[in-house]
Amino acid sequence: MARYPVVLAITGASGAPYAVRLLESLIALQVPTWLIVSTHGWRLLDTESGIANLEALRIYVGPDGFDAHVRVFDDNDRGASPASGSARTSGMVICPCSMGTMSAIAHGTSRSLVERAADVTLKERRRLLLVPRETPLSLIHLENMSAVTRAGAIVLPAAPGFYHQPQTISELVDFIVARILDQLELDHSVGRRWGGEQS
């Protein structure tokens, strides 16, 4: 279990099912989670998962677990706890991560709480996972990914594997969520590892 909160940000790139499943998994693991959803992130959740607002998200993932383990922050509040390096965290995941967000992090512009929290995560040398889904990638996208990687972030594209012969969309989603949880060094049973055994 993470000793300090994991910051989970949801931005406007396609991939809402990854974000929702990751939040469900963090709650199931009883990991304290600081949640930030951008304006475009809410539009994404509504479009792709039918989750129109915070209460709908709370009900979808389970209100008891949500209330016990999730603290929500407004993306417009750049003075909130995730914006300060003195607020201890176990790292941050932006899932999905839009190319606009990637660019802001690469160049340190910090226009929102999501971007400021990512900037703080890097400067404090904590783990920052960025989960882009964009395809194809322009040279600008690739250069920004290279820049954030050099700064210490981990770019984990939402590109599921097929060697485990998935039969459902949820298995594809779990493939990526499991890799994210691995990078956070959390013990979990999401998905199947190579060889067919449960993780």
Q: 0.85 exceeded by the pTM? A: yes
pLDDT one digit per residue (tens) for the chain, 199 residues: 458 999 999 999 899 999 999 999 999 999 999 999 999 999 999 999 999 999 999 999 999 999 999 999 999 999 999 999 999 999 999 999 999 999 999 999 999 999 999 999 999 999 999 999 999 999 999 999 999 999 999 999 999 999 888 999 999 999 999 999 999 999 998 877 777 554 4
- Domains of the chain as residue ranges with CATH: 6-183 (3.40.50.1950)
- Whether omega for the bond prior to residue 136 falls within 30 degrees of 0, making it cis, is yes
The pLDDT of residue 152 is 97
**Integer Cα distance of 148 and 95 in angstroms:** 15
* Residue among 89, 121, 91, 87 at smallest CA distance from 105: 121
The pLDDT of residue 189 is 86
The pLDDT of residue 199 is 47
Sign of CA pseudo-dihedral 170, 55, 87, 3: negative
